[in-house]
């Protein structure tokens, strides 16, 4: 019998970094660069957003929110941050906006489980992508993770002064970082990592299904490609959760038995399963999901089993990069 999963507590998210955007034009500038709407973003909301190349390929992904009308914080993978910050800054031009790496000043702490929700108080009732300020910090409700027993695990992130992060951690049981990273995978919402830069159009990672793309907001780099994929029925790849007994890591190729001669997909994000083996979000051809078995590294490689996403993928989109 498997031991019970202990998923309660707080953990410093050392793999996250934070960009601070300041200035009267900060929101409008980001609105013109990212896949989501920042012009209408309120102080009680957060956004998932993709930063794309002109070809629609994701250069970075952000969990972003406003601290005030003229200041936004954008959390992303720490290894991706320097390049994304440099590229975004190149396009500020005459806009009244300044982007800086706030990693030395701000830290992110992941919170999950009943103890964490008790500590959060009323903030535990936030809707997904809801946000509330708590003094110099902000709390965001992230998408839920699907557990093996069918339950959904709620997740939150506290972002605030680095000096205060230790106080948050000490108030709750220590959650191993690997368990938080597994919950990230089980949420079905993949971040762009160093190994996956420019590998995916947002729909390949289901971003439009989890609030990461606004198709009404107007132009941004890659917008035409992203919109064409959506409206012309060219979404032929999707993200799925898989499990394996072998180690999985971002950037590994996946093969399908019904088309063994070429890769069927790519591991986007992976983490050790608390009960053994590994779990991953994998971007796959829909034909690979619909027929045949999945294998790691080659058609004769270790078998991957498909898990459950915590959100639904519309049937019509599975018939349609």
Among 304, 316, 319, 234, residue whose Cα is nearest residue 273? 304
pLDDT of 321 reads 32
195 neighbors 251 (Cβ within 8 angstroms): yes
Q: How does pLDDT run across 5-18, given as a tens digit for each residue?
A: 889 999 999 999 99
Q: Name beta bridge partners: 72.
A: 21, 66
pLDDT tens digits for 208-267?
A: 999 999 999 989 999 999 998 777 766 789 999 999 999 999 999 999 998 899 999 999
User: Cα separation of 222 and 202, whole Å?
Assistant: 10
Of 220, 173, 177, 182, nearest in space to 62 by CA: 220
Q: Is residue 119 very low, low, confident or very high in pLDDT (cuts 50, 70, 90)?
A: very high
Assess whether pLDDT exceeds 60 at residue 2.
no
Q: Residue 222 phi/psi, 5° resolution?
A: 85, 0
Q: Note whether 46 and 139 are within 8 A (CB).
A: no
Structure tokens at 142: 């992230």
Q: What is the pLDDT of residue 315?
A: 66
**For position 230, what pLDDT does the model report?**
77
In 3D space, the residue among 21, 178, 156 whose CA is nearest the CA of residue 102 turns out to be: 21
pLDDT digits (tens, 9 = 90+) for 292-313: 799 999 989 999 999 999 999 9
Report how far residue 211's alpha carbon sits from residue 36's, in angstroms, rounded to the nearest whole number. 8
H-assigned helices in 91-199:
114-120, 162-170, 177-186
| Burial category of 3 from C-beta neighbours within 10 Å (exposed 0-12, middle 13-18, buried 19 and up) | exposed
Record the pTM.
Answer: 0.94
141-194 pLDDT, tens digit per residue, is 999 999 998 999 999 999 999 999 999 999 999 999 999 999 999 999 999 999
Average pLDDT estimate for 6-35: 97
Residue keyed to tokens 């180690």: 247
Rounded to an integer, the average pLDDT of 195-210 is 97
Average pLDDT, the chain: 94
- pLDDT value, residue 228: 86
Look at residue 108 and tell me whether its pLDDT is greater than 80.
yes
Q: How many CB atoms lie within 10 A of CB 124?
A: 16
Evaluate whether 271 touches 239 at the Cβ level (below 8 Å): no
Task: Provide the pLDDT for residue 219.
Answer: 94
């Amino acid at each position: 019998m498997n031991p019970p999963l202990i998923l309660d507590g707080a953990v410093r998210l050392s793999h996250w970094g934070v960009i601070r955007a300041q200035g009267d034009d900060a929101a409008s500038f980001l609105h013109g660069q990212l896949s989501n709407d920042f012009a209408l973003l309120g102080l009680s909301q957060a956004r998932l957003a993709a930063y794309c190349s002109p070809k629609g390929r994701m250069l970075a992904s952000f969990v972003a929110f406003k601290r005030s009308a003229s200041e936004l914080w954008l959390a992303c993978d720490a290894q991706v941050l320097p390049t994304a910050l440099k590229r975004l800054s190149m396009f500020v031009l005459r806009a009244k906006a300044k982007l800086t790496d706030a990693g030395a000043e701000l830290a992110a702490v992941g919170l999950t489980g009943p103890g964490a929700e008790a500590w959060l108080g009323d903030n535990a009732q936030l809707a997904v992508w809801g946000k509330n300020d708590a003094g110099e910090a902000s709390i965001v409700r992230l998408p839920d993770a699907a557990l093996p027993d069918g339950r959904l695990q709620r997740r939150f992130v506290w972002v605030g002064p680095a000096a205060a992060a230790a106080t948050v951690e000490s108030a709750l049981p220590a959650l191993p970082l690997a368990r938080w990273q597994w919950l990230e995978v089980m949420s079905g919402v993949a971040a762009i990592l160093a190994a996956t830069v420019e590998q995916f159009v947002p729909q390949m990672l289901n971003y439009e299904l989890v609030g990461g793309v606004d198709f009404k907001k107007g132009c941004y780099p890659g917008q035409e490609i992203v919109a064409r994929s959506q409206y012309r029925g060219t979404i032929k790849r999707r993200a799925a959760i898989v499990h394996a007994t072998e180690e999985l890591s971002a950037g590994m190729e996946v093969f399908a038995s019904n088309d063994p001669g070429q890769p069927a997909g790519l591991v986007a994000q992976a983490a050790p399963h608390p009960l053994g083996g590994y779990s991953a979000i994998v971007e796959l051809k829909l034909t690979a999901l619909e027929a045949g078995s999945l294998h790691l590294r080659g058609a004769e490689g270790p078998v991957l089993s498909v898990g459950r996403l915590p959100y639904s993928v519309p049937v019509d989109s599975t018939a349609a990069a």
